[in-house]
Amino acid sequence: MLQATKLKKSYGGTEALKGLDMTVEGGDIYCLLGANGAGKTTTISLFLNFIRPDGGTAAVGGLDVAEQPLETKKLLAYIPEQVMLYGNLTALENLRYFSRLGGRDYSQGEYRGFLRRAGLQDGAAGRRVKTYSKGMRQKVGLAVALAKQAKALLLDEPTAGLDPKASNEFSELLLKLKADGAAILMATHDLFRAKETGTRIGIMKEGRLVDELSAGEVSHADLEKIYLQHMHVGGRYA
Ligand code: ATP
């Protein structure tokens, strides 16, 4: 569903991506790990067509994002670290607004259903979101993704700053989306969550994918060890 092929991006003299090859299938939660500046956000921004590649392709559902940006955007939902919502609108109003913007409209009951599925307490749906905690805002972001019936979900450090319970709830919701067949790509610094929630784990370093692991085949301790080995000069096999 998501495929990067020899994907390259430079900012001025900085080579942020140096020929990235990666695939995320439906039903996968692919967790992208890497130090600050490794190229994780750049990868996500290329799939979203926020920026254009200097070489290679980012494809969604087999379509090149740079060539068919409108079609590919319909297949995607995006959850950044801070979900952008209108503070003076309620969760229901925000959800309806963003859903209509994406070309889909539902009944009030259906919107409530999406918010419920995203884990928002029933009483909160009619409250202005400026009174919401960060975890609640992330849930509205997930409800927008559900209403959009997105085939692929791109997340950039979505659980940063969430308390462990909120982070756990968010991860449980991702598992439900995965079970529905969505392809999920998540940049994160949270090795524990990557192991718990991810199906696959990619380690990025200086614009390259230096390792790919199956989450089920490594222990927490091994994942941390492998990650740290890569972060040292020379990498895992030096
Ligand atoms: P973090 O974990 O800090 O979010 P990241 O892995 O997401 O890091 P990117 O944000 O993709 O990393 O950055 C990759 C490289 O590109 C870094 O060297 C960064 O300084 C550079 N970069 C990113 N965006 C820009 C920009 N708009 N202008 C110039 N350089 C940029």
What lies within 8 Å, CB to CB, of 68 at 6+ separation is none
- Band (pLDDT 50/70/90 cuts) for residue 238 is very low
pLDDT of 237 > 60? The answer is: no
Which atom of ligand 1 approaches the CA of 42 most closely? Answer: 11
Predicted local distance difference test score (pLDDT) of residue 163: 87
CB 230 within 8 A of CB 203: yes
Residue owning the nearest CA to atom 20 of ligand 1: 37
Q: What are 86-122's pLDDT values in tens digits?
A: 999 999 999 999 999 888 999 999 999 999 999 898 8
pLDDT of residue 102: 84
Mean pLDDT of 47-72: 96
Q: Which residues contact 213 (CB under 8 A, 6 or more apart)?
A: 200, 201, 202, 203, 223, 226
Q: Which pair of structure tokens corresponds to residue 3?
A: 């495929």
Closest atom, ligand 1, to C-alpha of 32: 6
1-81+156-165+194-238 maps to which CATH number? 3.40.50.300
Tokens of 56: 């290679």
* pLDDT, tens digit, 9 for 90 and up, residues 145-157: 999 999 999 999 9
Ligand 1 centre distance from Cα of residue 180 (Å): 32
41 or 176: which leads in pLDDT: 41
Please give the number of the atom of ligand 1 that sits closest to the Cα of 187: 7
pLDDT at 236 over 90: no
Half-sphere CA count of 120, side-chain side, radius 13 A = 31
Locate the domains of the chain by residue range: 1-81+156-165+194-238, 83-153
The alpha carbon dihedral of 206, 12, 44, 36 has a sign of: positive
Provide mean pLDDT across the span 48-66.
96
**C-alpha 207: how far from its chain's center?**
18
- Cα distance between residue 232 and residue 116, in whole Å: 44
Note the pLDDT of residue 153.
96
Q: Residue 221 C-alpha to ligand 1 middle, in angstroms?
A: 28
Best residue among 14, 48, 191 to mutate for probing ligand 1's pocket (most ligand atoms within 8 Å of CB) is 14
Pair 154, 185: CB distance under 8 Å = yes
Tracing tokens 């009944």 back to the chain, one arrives at: 107
CB neighbours of residue 211 within 10 Å: 18
Q: What residue type is assigned to position 50 of the chain? A: F
CA distance 56 to 15: 14
Report percent pLDDT > 70 for the chain. 97
> Atom 29, ligand 1: which residue's CA is nearest?
11
Ligand 1 atom with minimal separation from the 207 CA: 14
Q: What average pLDDT does range 184-196 have in this prediction?
A: 95
pTM here?
0.92
Closest-CA residue to 118 (of 89, 148, 88, 97): 148
Give the Å distances, CA to CA, from 119 to 62, 73, 91, 100, 182: 32, 25, 12, 21, 18
Per the CB < 8 A criterion, the answer to whether 18 and 208 are in contact is yes
36 C-alpha vs ligand 1 centroid, how far in Å? 8
Q: Whose CA is nearest to atom 3 of ligand 1?
A: 36
Taking only the tens place, the pLDDT of each residue in 197-225 is 999 999 999 999 999 999 999 999 999 99
Ligand 1 surroundings by CB, under 6 angstroms = 11, 14, 16, 34, 36-42, 187
